[in-house]
Structure 1
Amino acid sequence: MTESGQNVILLPRKSQSLPVPYKRQVKYDYNEKVAHGAVRRSKARERQIAVCALVLSIAIGAIFTLRHILPTSAATSDLRATSSIVLELPEISSTSKISAVKLPNDRIPFEPRTYNSAKASNWSTVTVAPGDNLSLIFGRYGFSKKDLHQILALGPEAKNLRSIKPGQQIKVRSDGHGRVIEIVQELDYLRSLHVVSELDNYSMAIVEIEPEIRHASAQAEIKHSLFLDGQAAGLSDKTIMELADIFGWDIDFVLDVRVGDRFSVVFEELFKDDEKVKNGKILAAEFVNRGEKLRAVYYSKADGTGDYYSDTGRAMRKAFLRAPVNFTRISSRFNLRRRHPVLNTIRAHKGVDYAAPHGTPIRATADGKIIFAGNKGGYGRTVVIQHGESYSTLFAHMSRISRGVKNGSRIKQGQTIGYVGKTGLATGPHLHYEFRINGVHRNPLKVRLPEALPLEKKYIADFLSRAEPLLTQLNGLSDVAKSDNLVADADPQINQASSTPTRSKTQ
């Protein structure tokens, strides 16, 4: 070892080299090592301080947020109320079970604000233009196409939105950013289609408004025709047709109606927002035909089904309709010695020809079973229906037979079985109709039709009770008509005034 403290290794003499000092290959700088540990401890303290500062800032922010949401007075009173709440806890013994404690619910210290979507949204009333569809409307108003696809895929009721027509109005409520919240489409005066947003989906429903129902009445004398005089009395075409249908089993409104016949009607009027929407059903009616008085009253059973009955409870509906079409005129009546217009020979005409426009629907006059449907020589396209054991009807010269009408199929009264044409030996579009009883031809205009089932006995008392006020109204209308006739007979100069139809309304 030298004086400086270095170790000296002596080599053998034979090398004769100078002594070389020994140096370690690994050096430790203890001063740097100590300094590095101090830095790490310093960073840990900084992280602790940062976490404390973050927690403190969150707490302060929560306090300020709470003060912002709740007014000072409300917050103070709520805190007082909260601080004054005393909870009575049950005594817990070693054998007792823990019971639930109910908190008083008269005051809630904190209640979050609710978002009113109705105020933040807006309605757009869209008038459908020619060539418009819902996709074009959504694009024009900036509504979401994604919402459109969801709405149109909701179900069968969505077809109303697919088949919009020019002039229709559709109301759309959105959030102002293209999101559709609600759609309202008016289908008619009393029904509307509603589409409502529910979270990420939509629901669709048809909403029907319950109308206000008022009773009205009208009466008139036949001077021209049932249609013209009915319209003059204030009846709609629909109500006039219903009147003809009610008495259509007893009166042929082409052949049987005469000038001087009278009718009286009590019917419903439907109102929405104090505005008349349309006429409702006929409640009671009277028709005096050639001096014979016929009356009908509508009666609905507990199961919701209803029909018209005479004032004694006899069903107005017969097993057979008197006419198979809503004809305009009768071109050829029942005549066994009629000269055939095509063959120019005397040939029995064992039925009635009903002239009607080409394509007019032909209806089955009674329930039955199809025993023939197809071409039948001079009859052209023909359908024959068997009604029970004794009755059968034939319909000829059809332009076409309805789909589904074939041998063996069952048919309901009033069901369309074909359409007026002039196939076979025919000079123009008309329906040839035959009525047979046990295979024997009978005049369809004169034959006595079998009765339908009367009202069940268990309903008679209720029917008479409900029919009484309606029949009283008809009596009042009849008295007015009789007084008009007496005045007209006494003074012919005011006959024209006496024929003026009258109309009254009751709430």
Structure 2
Amino acid sequence: MNTRRLIAAGAVFAGLSAIAWIAFRPGAPRAEEIKVVEVPTPPAPETLVHQLGRGETLGGVFEDHGLDRSETHRIVQAMGAFESPRRLRPGTEIRFVRQPGEPPARILVQLDRDRTLHLWSEGGVAAAWMARLDSVAIIRDTVLLAGLIETNLFDAEMSGDVDRLGDGARFDVAYQVSQVFAWQIDFWRDLRRNDAYRILIAREVRPDGSVRSASVLAADFRNDRRTLTAVRFQPDPLARVEYFDASGEAVRGQFLLAPLDIARVTSGFNLRRFHPVLKRTRPHLGVDYGAPRGTPVRATGAGRVGRAGSWGNYGRAVEVRHANNIRTRYAHLSGIARGMGAGTQVEQGQVIGYVGATGLATAPHLHYEFLRNGVQVNPARLQLPRAEPVPAELRGQFAAVREAVLTRLRLIPMPIQPGQRARRTQD
């Protein structure tokens, strides 16, 4: 038995020896050596952000970031297919993407919230620059809302598609209501408890939920014992947008009821008012609107500036001359809008100045006067003419628009307090 084990062990030893001799005999091929080569990782590209300043030129900004004039010229040429560099406004964000120590290879220009212009070089000496414009996808929808007023327009209790409104949208809705009915309702003096509105709004919404644009298609407003209706009508894309009531009469008047957006009346037209500075009774031949310093002041009607600048007790003031020997005055301004001077043509609703406390004033407010034939009159008691109604040749087109939008608008009931509903039902 031991002899067999010895023979087997010897055989294994002989086999291993043979393998070793074959592997390491002179001239036998050796295993190839493995060489490790380290390739350095290129540095990550860096992004430099620049906001276009007032008075800066695009060429100057490009040169400051390492681009020479010839390359700047090629970049501007590539941009020209989508946007003129001269139209870029202060604050426009420009991002330069480059390797450290090298000129930018990519440039991103944020034209606005909806459009980003991408520019990139194909590399090499005198390389061409390419451009691509990316726009965010827009969703178009409509929202139907109603509001019940307790104290003021901005705090109205809203119903309808409220869950689709983003942050700050409630304020925007109230503002839109005030703009549509600005010629018929003074939203400080005319509102009553239980007044209400319903409104149909067409929107363009960005992917992040923010609203790019919104326009009122139709609205109803119940103000005390009257109900007003407004229908948006634009017969063709080049025509001015106007609002008309259900019968086709213009909602817009020749004059706005107030020169500020939903301002507080601090002193009305009064022939025997006690003056807070002079401490004596004297006529107050205008209307004072309390508002924060810097609030934009708008021309209540179209016309031509007759005077703009310092004006005695008025402080800084603007006077606008209108048709039919009518003038309006805007006093105690903190500043006058750029370009306002004698002879300047202004449109209704155009900003002409900003609320202040210059002249004989104790606090920031706007003093507004309405003059007819050179005499101050109370604007709250005037029955001023309206704009032109729907032209006869467009009545059919208007009727189709009116029926479509009012049918949708009136899918939501006009809100009313339960107690008020019971009393009105009995009436």
| TM-score, length of structure 2 as denominator length | 0.71
What corresponds to 1:250 in structure 2?
184
What corresponds to 1:211 in structure 2?
138
Aligned-pair CA distance for 1:340: 1.4
Q: 3-state DSSP class of the match of 2:369?
A: strand
Deviation string, structure 1 residues 186-245 (Cα, Å, up to 9, x no partner):
545532224365894436575555623111111121124211226784444333212111
Count residues with an aligned counterpart.
Answer: 357
What corresponds to 1:407 in structure 2?
342
Deviation string, structure 1 residues 336-361 (Cα, Å, up to 9, x no partner):
11011122221111110111222222
- Answering whether residue 269 of structure 2 is matched by residue 334 of structure 1, we say yes
Aligned-pair CA distance for 1:247: 0.4
What corresponds to 2:255 in structure 1?
320
Matches within 5 A, 1:25-36: none
CA distance in structure 2 between the partners assigned to 1:296 and 1:489 by the alignment: 24
Greater share of strand residues, 1 or 2?
2
CA RMSD of aligned residues (A): 4.0
Q: Assess if the C-alpha contact under 8 Å between 2:142 and 2:201 holds in 1.
A: yes
Aligned-pair CA distance for 1:325: 1.9
- Answering whether residue 153 of structure 2 is matched by residue 226 of structure 1, we say yes
Q: Which runs of 5+ in 2 are unaligned?
A: 1-43, 53-57
What corresponds to 1:346 in structure 2?
281
CA distance in structure 2 between the partners assigned to 1:364 and 1:381 by the alignment: 15
Q: 3-state DSSP class of the match of 2:270?
A: coil
- Answering whether residue 171 of structure 2 is matched by residue 237 of structure 1, we say yes
What corresponds to 2:197 in structure 1?
263
CA distance in structure 1 between the partners assigned to 2:62 and 2:321 by the alignment: 56
Is 450-459 or 248-257 further displaced after alignment?
450-459
Q: 3-state DSSP class of the match of 2:368?
A: strand
What corresponds to 1:457 in structure 2?
392
Deviation string, structure 1 residues 430-467 (Cα, Å, up to 9, x no partner):
11111122223221223222211222222221111022
Q: Assess if the C-alpha contact under 8 Å between 1:150 and 1:201 holds in 2.
A: no
Deviation string, structure 1 residues 35-78 (Cα, Å, up to 9, x no partner):
xxxxxxxxxxxxxxxxxxxxxxxxxxxxxxxxxxxxxxxxxxxx
- Answering whether residue 123 of structure 2 is matched by residue 193 of structure 1, we say no
CA distance in structure 2 between the partners assigned to 1:152 and 1:445 by the alignment: 58
Deviation string, structure 1 residues 241-298 (Cα, Å, up to 9, x no partner):
121110011001111112201111111232455x633162111111111031111111
Q: Assess if the C-alpha contact under 8 Å between 1:270 and 1:276 holds in 2.
A: no
Structure 1 residues 471 and 442 mapped into 2: Cα distance closer, same or farther (>3 Å)? Answer: same
What corresponds to 1:368 in structure 2?
303
What corresponds to 2:216 in structure 1?
282
Structure 1 residues 223 and 487 mapped into 2: Cα distance closer, same or farther (>3 Å)? Answer: closer
CA distance in structure 2 between the partners assigned to 1:350 and 1:467 by the alignment: 41
Structure 1 residues 144 and 334 mapped into 2: Cα distance closer, same or farther (>3 Å)? Answer: closer
Matches within 5 A, 1:59-458: 128=49, 149-150=72-73, 153-154=76-77, 156-157=84-85, 163=91, 183-195=107-119, 200-202=127-129, 208=135, 211-229=138-156, 233=162, 234=165, 235-272=169-206, 276-278=209-211, 280-305=214-239, 306-326=241-261, 328-458=263-393
CA distance in structure 1 between the partners assigned to 2:341 and 2:422 by the alignment: 62
Greater share of helix residues, 1 or 2?
1
Q: 3-state DSSP class of the match of 2:209?
A: strand
Q: 3-state DSSP class of the match of 2:363?
A: coil
CA distance in structure 2 between the partners assigned to 1:428 and 1:355 by the alignment: 8
CA distance in structure 1 between the partners assigned to 2:300 and 2:268 by the alignment: 18
CA distance in structure 2 between the partners assigned to 1:468 and 1:248 by the alignment: 24
Aligned-pair CA distance for 1:180: 6.7
Structure whose CA Rg is larger = 1
Structure 1 residues 294 and 147 mapped into 2: Cα distance closer, same or farther (>3 Å)? Answer: farther
Q: 3-state DSSP class of the match of 2:230?
A: strand
Give percent identity, aligned residues only.
33
Structure 1 residues 196 and 291 mapped into 2: Cα distance closer, same or farther (>3 Å)? Answer: farther
Deviation string, structure 1 residues 369-417 (Cα, Å, up to 9, x no partner):
2222333332222322211133111122223333332222322222222
